[in-house]
Structure 1
Amino acid sequence: MEFRKFRQSGELSDITVVVDSHQFQLHKFPLYAKSDFFKALVRSAMVDKDLVHLKDFPGGVRVFSLVADFCYNMDIQVSPRNVAQLRCAAEYLQMTSPGNLASQTEEYLQDVLYSSKFTTLVPVVEVFKGCCDLGPIAEQIDITGKCIRTLVDAWKLSNEKDTRTAKDAISNTVLDKLIEIPTCWFQQLLITARDRDVPKSTLAKIAGKHIFSLIQNQLEVPICSESLSFLLDSIFYELPTAVETLQTAVTTDWVIHALKMATETDCKCRSILLELAGKMLRNFSMRELTQLSPDLLMEVVQYACSSVNCIPEVVCEVIDRYLYELALEKTLTPEIFVKVATCLPVDFRANHDLLFQVTGMLFQTGGNMTDAERSRILEVVDFRRLSEETLRRAHDEGQVPITYITKAALALCTKLRAALETAKNTIELQEERFQMMCQCTNFTSGTWIKDDGEDVVDVRPQSRDNLVLQVAHVKESSPVSIEMTHALVESKLAVCALSEITQGDPVIYVFSPFKPQLIEIASTLNGKDECFTINNVYRKLETGQSFWPYTPKRKLSV
């Protein structure tokens, strides 16, 4: 029997189904034929079996309209956007017999999940998003679980394969769509990915996207601080070693926004973000840093200073540039200057030139500043660590009491005197080494001896009383001639033996007069780089070549 025309016209309707206040004029037989839910109504003790209200129906009016069409044997359009809703609707209405709506939508769902391995994850995310308004039923029939497992499997492969499909797994297109899923499901997705060893870099990129979307949504449509704090914490604390995980995956702008939001909402993850900002301190632009309050910046700096990889020069530059920018904006006060400038350890700041420049700007814009305030500001500056040019400018401008300049000038003189003394000692030491080099004339000669039937050349010094001046000098007949010369090798005095070979490139053997043994060197012979060890005793291998020293193909042990 053809039911289509009755579905379209509502003619001879004998049952009214209400979904979200919308009435559907339908017929019992097509519904009973497909749905065990409606079939059970016949046997129930309902007073009015001709009027049925479906509460919390998955997908609402739009999806029930498709289900009704299916019951009337009409073709319906199934897509990644509605397959989860149709599958849940089939479960709700008990349309689970073979070939019914449940099995057909389940088959379509499996095709979507499987084909994502070879194409793109976008349809999987669309299915996942379609579960958002379905409530617990989507979890009960494991649609969300299947989507999560499919996404995680793809993320694992993205680290193992360099294919278009693998790259698509963590593309912005995929991650941007994941932003729309509820945070509770995203947390479950993140936990599954972490427990199945998805790479930390992938976890960081995924989590970073979601966190930033929460922050942006808060700016546009604010929610209560407690709710946002819970959402942020639920993500951060599921990341393994959150700081290291995020450090290479997020931008400095992301860190600034996340830190400010965590501070406003008093999140537990605030300490993670402070540590992260401390590690990334050198990467921030001054425009980004001036978005932070002085107190918040000082907290970041304290975390940076506590790091084992802290670079004092970088931290000092950040603080001084921050104060300079506030002074340019004319928002710097004496209280902020003193508090921020003194938040670093005393010995961190090697040069106070920029800090002194900030004090000058502060004096010009500070209005009626008391003498006590001026003195407190000047005490922050260590005038002994000012350059000569800055001291001269301070004297010429006349904004600093002469006593500060005098003390600094005396300290500068002391520093210069120490530098001159150091330079003098260095010159004397170099002169001594030069004289030593000129006097290196007492060489020993190598001699041939027999050792277990092998030819050995003995290059031990004849005497160890003056070892520095005694080095090996080996001679051999043509076609090799060896000439002893003095040279500075890597800024150290050495004696070189230059071997002129009739075949191949020259080889330089470097002898160290400052060690009991001769040093290991690299040589080039016949255009090939080779390495050998010269020691107190150097063995000569049997060879048909008529020159010595012989360069072996392998290192020799003595």
Structure 2
Amino acid sequence: MKFMKLGTRPDTFYTEQATRTLTSEIPSDLVIQINDVTYLLHKFALLPKCGLLQRLCYDSSDSESFTVELHDIPGGEDAFELCAKFCYGISINISAHNFVSAFCAAKFLRMNDAIEKGNFVGKLESFFNSCILESWKDPIATLQTTATLPEWSENLGIVRKCIDSIIEKILTPSQQVKWSFTYTRPGYTKKQHHSVPKDWWTEDVSDLDIDLFRCIIMAIRSTYVLPPQLIGEALHVYACRWLPGITKLNKSSGSSASQTEESKLKNRKIIETIVSMIPADRGSVSVGFLFRLLSISIHLNASSVIKTELIRRASLQFEEATVSDLLYPSKSSSDQNYYDIELVLAVLETFLKLWKRMSPGAVDNSYFLRSIRNVGKLIDSYLQVVARDDNMQVSKFVSLAETVPSIARVDHNNLYKAIDIYLKVHPDLSKADKKRLCGILDCQKLTPEVRGHAVKNELLPLRTVVQLLYFEQEKGSMANTSHKLLKQHEIILGAKQRTTTKDSQSKQSLGQEFNGDVTRTTQILESREKDHHRHKRLDANLALDLEKKIAIRGRDIEETESERVRGVKDESSSSYKLEVVDPKKIIRRARSKSEHSMKKADRDK
């Protein structure tokens, strides 16, 4: 940072009670009052350089003491003291940190060249134009100090000149950047990187107030020189610098209780301003950043317009998200591990609305199909994480899982894993909740390996196990029949090929016999296929009867371990005999039968 040194005399100002004066053999004849501080000074030093004091002291004689009140001087007593020391020739240092107050005070006192050549205002203007505006960090530091004197800074053109200087340097090609800048990104060191990164300016600019930051960003956007992604990166850096909880999952930092009302209002203004500046181009900011902004806006009670816009923007890039992008705590719970599933549900619903608005022809497009299936995988992976939350309600879990359309899931393997995790973490789940939870599972969409695991899963409800056994048996039966039909078809094709090697006369005579064989073989195959379908219907009826009998004669197997009894009426004596029935044995026999069918099908193959 550059500075300007003026004056050569040592500082002899000192304080006595509430009075500031300087060591001098000449008695004071000028009293300056600023707020609660009184300055005992001399006319001979100040009047030649201060046009305002000349006018105020015009009617006073040189010998008498004169009192002047300057309560409205910009910068207060500190700025006035800089001007007074300049008048006395006392050494002072001017930098970007005190330039604004000194310049405004000098303008107020009319310390310009019209009063005396080489006056304070002229020297300050020269320093501002040749030093501050020519560097990179000094205009930013100067802008930060204008917050104390916004009207004066605006009227004197300080703000406009600093912003123009900053924008000019930001638009400079990175290979031409020669000045120092702040860049603390992980993994970046200037020794290893000789080239200047394109976002070299973002961290320094993030130190500014949100209003000044907005002025710079909007001015840059209006030039159309920088890409939208670079603008988005600047917004991301600024959010990390000022918004609570943006860099880590920290629920307490974003809660209403831990923030004062003033702090909440300030943060709300910041997030609303940032959202309003996000470029319309898709991908200008990451979907993870959008989710973080959305989570914070919910905690800060931002306007519904801002939240709706963030949900819309996040839904447009939903397929690019990862599970970690979705893991944010719920505002309504004090538990750190209670995830905000409603936030994800809102984005998912908006994504599906946008997806359904496409023309029917677009739905068949591979890009759109891949997009929705990526979202389906994302939601199932997210469900596996939130299923480990002790406080996760079944209704919210099921609601999110059911919102995913069937076309988004190629199989239900990941959904089954999420359900299995939920059942393990919530062992005290009621019978009704278990049925509701497993009702979202499509047993036909499970691969054989996962279906085999599910059949042996004792946490699943009985109805789900029966469905799994039925589909397992059906798959095995279909595979066995298909294998036999394939063999018969190969025999027929072989016979046809052999007949082509004989002469035409034999071929005709044999052809008639062969056609008869083919006809008979075809009839046999059709008869076997009909038998297969009849057995298939019988298997289905047996499975349904099994389920009905178990439902009538007792509760579900996971609900009881006791034996059940049934009455068998004796025809001769009209009495009842008691026979012990174990539902577990029924399930085991069904499972054994299913496994036996699968092994038999494998042997036939």
Aligned 8 A contact 2:283 2:317 in 1: no
> What is the letter of the counterpart of residue 289 of structure 1?
L
SS of 1:216's partner is coil
Counterpart in the other structure of 1:145: 160
Asked which structure has the greater RCO (Cα within 8 Å, sep 6+), the reply is 2
SS of 1:94's partner is coil
Structure 1 CA distance, aligned partners of 2:121 and 2:382? 63
What CA deviation, in whole Å up to 9, does each residue of 1:358-377 have, x standing for no partner? 22233334344333322211
SS of 2:233's partner is helix
Counterpart in the other structure of 1:59: 75
For 1:138-217, list aligned pairs within 5 A: 138-158=153-173, 161=175, 163-165=177-179, 175-199=202-226, 200-216=228-244
SS of 2:403's partner is coil
Aligned 8 A contact 2:199 2:233 in 1: no
Q: Matched residues, percent identical? A: 17
Counterpart in the other structure of 2:297: 262
Counterpart in the other structure of 2:55: 40
Structure 2 CA distance, aligned partners of 1:409 and 1:325? 29
Counterpart in the other structure of 1:501: none
What CA deviation, in whole Å up to 9, does each residue of 1:10-35 have, x standing for no partner? 65122232334233221223222111
Structure 1 CA distance, aligned partners of 2:134 and 2:163? 15
> How far 1:405 sits from its partner (Å)?
0.8
Structure 1 CA distance, aligned partners of 2:405 and 2:197? 43
Alignment equivalent of 1:68, drawn from 75, 84, 89: 84
> How far 1:384 sits from its partner (Å)?
0.9
What CA deviation, in whole Å up to 9, does each residue of 1:417-436 have, x standing for no partner? 99999x99xx9xxxxxxxxx
SS of 1:99's partner is coil
Counterpart in the other structure of 1:21: 36
Structure 1 CA distance, aligned partners of 2:49 and 2:209? 33
Aligned 8 A contact 1:112 1:124 in 2: no
Counterpart in the other structure of 1:234: 273
> What is the letter of the counterpart of residue 86 of structure 2?
F
Alignment equivalent of 1:299, drawn from 346, 349, 355: 346
SS of 2:57's partner is helix
- Structure 1's 369 and 49: CA in aligned 2 closer, same or farther, altered over 3 A? farther
Structure 2 CA distance, aligned partners of 1:315 and 1:418? 38
Alignment equivalent of 2:472, drawn from 384, 406, 409: 409
The worse-fitting range, judged by mean Cα deviation, of 145-154 and 351-360 is 351-360
Counterpart in the other structure of 1:434: none
SS of 1:52's partner is strand
Aligned 8 A contact 2:51 2:111 in 1: yes
What CA deviation, in whole Å up to 9, does each residue of 1:275-323 have, x standing for no partner? 4434554565544422250000112333444368662332122212222
- Structure 1's 407 and 276: CA in aligned 2 closer, same or farther, altered over 3 A? farther
> What is the letter of the counterpart of residue 124 of structure 1?
P
SS of 1:12's partner is coil
Structure 2 CA distance, aligned partners of 1:23 and 1:419? 106
- Structure 1's 362 and 175: CA in aligned 2 closer, same or farther, altered over 3 A? closer
Aligned 8 A contact 1:152 1:198 in 2: no
> How far 1:380 sits from its partner (Å)?
0.5
Aligned 8 A contact 2:30 2:66 in 1: yes
Aligned 8 A contact 1:170 1:202 in 2: no
Structure 1 CA distance, aligned partners of 2:428 and 2:150? 65
Structure 2 CA distance, aligned partners of 1:229 and 1:380? 40
- Structure 1's 285 and 238: CA in aligned 2 closer, same or farther, altered over 3 A? closer
- Structure 1's 173 and 380: CA in aligned 2 closer, same or farther, altered over 3 A? same
- Structure 1's 35 and 221: CA in aligned 2 closer, same or farther, altered over 3 A? farther
Counterpart in the other structure of 2:121: 102
Counterpart in the other structure of 2:22: 8
Structure 1: where are the runs of 5+ without partners? 428-558
> How far 1:337 sits from its partner (Å)?
1.6
> What is the letter of the counterpart of residue 403 of structure 1?
V
Structure 1 CA distance, aligned partners of 2:240 and 2:200? 15
> How far 1:82 sits from its partner (Å)?
1.7
Counterpart in the other structure of 2:137: 122
Structure 1 CA distance, aligned partners of 2:422 and 2:379? 15
Structure 2 CA distance, aligned partners of 1:12 and 1:416? 115
Aligned 8 A contact 1:63 1:85 in 2: yes
SS of 1:270's partner is helix
Structure 1 CA distance, aligned partners of 2:325 and 2:74? 46
SS of 2:38's partner is strand
Counterpart in the other structure of 2:594: none
The worse-fitting range, judged by mean Cα deviation, of 402-411 and 105-114 is 402-411
Structure 2 CA distance, aligned partners of 1:314 and 1:383? 21
* TM-score, structure 1 as length reference: 0.65
SS of 1:130's partner is helix
> How far 1:211 sits from its partner (Å)?
2.7
For 1:453-464, list aligned pairs within 5 A: none
Structure 2 CA distance, aligned partners of 1:72 and 1:388? 94
- Structure 1's 170 and 236: CA in aligned 2 closer, same or farther, altered over 3 A? farther
Structure 2 CA distance, aligned partners of 1:403 and 1:49? 107
> How far 1:257 sits from its partner (Å)?
3.2
Counterpart in the other structure of 2:544: none
Structure 2 CA distance, aligned partners of 1:374 and 1:87? 74
- Structure 1's 336 and 9: CA in aligned 2 closer, same or farther, altered over 3 A? same
Structure 1 CA distance, aligned partners of 2:482 and 2:84? 94
- Structure 1's 178 and 14: CA in aligned 2 closer, same or farther, altered over 3 A? farther
- Cα RMSD, aligned residues only: 3.7
Counterpart in the other structure of 2:456: 396
SS of 1:269's partner is helix
- Structure 1's 376 and 197: CA in aligned 2 closer, same or farther, altered over 3 A? same
- Structure 1's 283 and 379: CA in aligned 2 closer, same or farther, altered over 3 A? same
Whose helix fraction is larger, Structure 1's or Structure 2's? 2
Counterpart in the other structure of 2:539: none
> How far 1:69 sits from its partner (Å)?
0.5
Counterpart in the other structure of 2:326: 289
Aligned 8 A contact 1:32 1:38 in 2: yes
Structure 1 CA distance, aligned partners of 2:482 and 2:87? 96
SS of 2:48's partner is helix
Counterpart in the other structure of 1:493: none
What CA deviation, in whole Å up to 9, does each residue of 1:517-557 have, x standing for no partner? xxxxxxxxxxxxxxxxxxxxxxxxxxxxxxxxxxxxxxxxx
- Structure 1's 53 and 213: CA in aligned 2 closer, same or farther, altered over 3 A? farther
> How far 1:188 sits from its partner (Å)?
1.8
SS of 2:47's partner is helix
Structure 2 CA distance, aligned partners of 1:376 and 1:125? 60
What CA deviation, in whole Å up to 9, does each residue of 1:210-249 have, x standing for no partner? 23333139758643545433332233323431654323xx
SS of 1:17's partner is strand
Whose strand fraction is larger, Structure 1's or Structure 2's? 1
Aligned 8 A contact 1:158 1:167 in 2: no
